[in-house]
Amino acid sequence: MSDAEQTDLGPAGLDWSRVRMKSRQRRRHKVTLAALGKPTPAGCLFRQWLESLPDVLGAGQLRQIVAAIVAARRGGRPVVLAFGGHVIKTGCSPLVIDLIERGIITAIATNGAGAIHDLELAETGMTSEDVAETIRDGSFGMVYETCQRMNQAARLGAGQGGLGRALGKLLEESQAPHKRLSLFAAAYRARIPATVHVAIGTDTVHADPQADGAAIGAASLADFRTICAVVAELGASGCGQPGGVWLNCGSAVILPEVFLKAVSVARNLGHSLEGMHTANLDMLQHYRPTQNVITRPVQPGHGHQLLGQHEILLPLLRQAIIEAWGT
């Protein structure tokens, strides 16, 4: 290349005169004036505040989740809440129970920790010990009342419909002073599926010398088969109709894995899950919820992610749902 030719090029050897430009009017835009947030006055209604949110990112996801849930229930499709123990520990039980009693949540699923915290809150009005303190002297989880009751539920559930139903039945028929705050008792009253998916060794009650591994396994396996039947109903009932919704809230591993296997079982048995929506609500974005809940099982645009604290997201979601539901 001659010295004359080099003077027409930039320092990296590129011919900048060949860069192509286009009009801004021809570009597709993600943000328009209609998407901007709107200031609301003090004392405004929740509906006004909700409508004032910017229509982008998380606020847009919130609107899509709410719309999918309302459409599912109006179309007679299930809405399932799969949750980890922190949903109970962050004080959200009354909000979930309200949605069960309104007929919006039609099934619940949790891990062993979720069931334990639900039980303890119902029976004592308290739950969640200081692990950093009690792990030092080996007293962490070593409380006989919780162990006895969970093992009783496992033995009952092994022969009568699974662990979740058995726990709900035991609490509802007991004198537990706070049973109205139990999700499992609420599910039992509402006659909706409630399942517990146990990983042996992850729960405090497994340290009980009287723990019945055969009963725990049989009861939790029955619950897996129950949740597979629930998932099989998440597809749209017809062309153009809405599908059901699976909400994963606060479970980073167990419930996303359970859901993925249940989806495979349902499709293997010939159930179409077209039209199904899924959503993950959690403080962090984890691998399994991203892949196993909002990406792999659903068609593009039907998986939703909403990040934030449970004690903020769930009250917000519930209020947005009932505003859209109209009751």
Per-residue pLDDT 10s for the chain (327 aa) are 455 455 555 566 888 888 999 999 998 988 888 888 899 899 999 888 888 889 888 898 999 999 999 999 999 999 999 999 999 999 999 999 999 999 999 999 999 999 999 999 999 988 877 787 878 787 777 787 888 999 999 999 998 799 999 999 999 999 999 999 999 999 999 999 999 999 999 888 888 888 899 999 999 999 999 999 999 999 988 888 899 999 999 998 999 999 999 999 999 999 999 999 999 998 888 889 898 899 999 888 899 999 989 999 999 999 999 999 986
Tell which phi-psi region holds residue 126, choosing left (phi > 0), alpha (psi between -120 and 50) or beta. Answer: beta
Residue-wise DSSP of 248-306: EES-SSHHHHHHHHHHHHHHHTT---TT-EEEEEESS--HHIIIIITTTTS-TT-EEEE
Identify the burial level of 203 via C-beta atoms within 10 angstroms of its C-beta, where 0-12 means exposed, 13-18 middle and 19 or more buried: buried
Residues 6+ apart with CB under 8 A from 91: 311
pTM attached to this predicted model = 0.89
Q: Are 244 and 234 in contact (CB under 8 A)?
A: yes
Q: Element (H or E) spanning 87, and its range?
A: helix 85-89
* Helix (H) or strand (E) run with residue 236 in it: none
CATH of 71-325, one of 3.30.830.10, 2.40.50.100, 3.40.50.10690, 3.30.70.980: 3.40.50.10690
The Cα diameter of the chain in Å comes to 95
What tokens appear for 104 in the block?
């919006």
C-alpha distances in Å from residue 196, one per residue of 17, 74, 148, 224? 65, 27, 17, 8
Measured from the Cβ of residue 104, the count of other Cβ atoms closer than 10 Å reads: 21
pLDDT at 327: 62
| Dihedrals phi, psi of 194, to nearest 5 degrees | -140, 120
The b/e string for 130-141 (b: 16+ C-beta within 10 A; e otherwise) is eeeeeeeeeebb
Six token digits for residue 327:
């009751």
Residue 307 — φ and ψ, nearest 5°?
-100, 135
Is 260 within 8 Å of 267 (Cβ atoms)?
A: no
The beta-strand segments (E) located in 51-161 are 79-83, 107-111
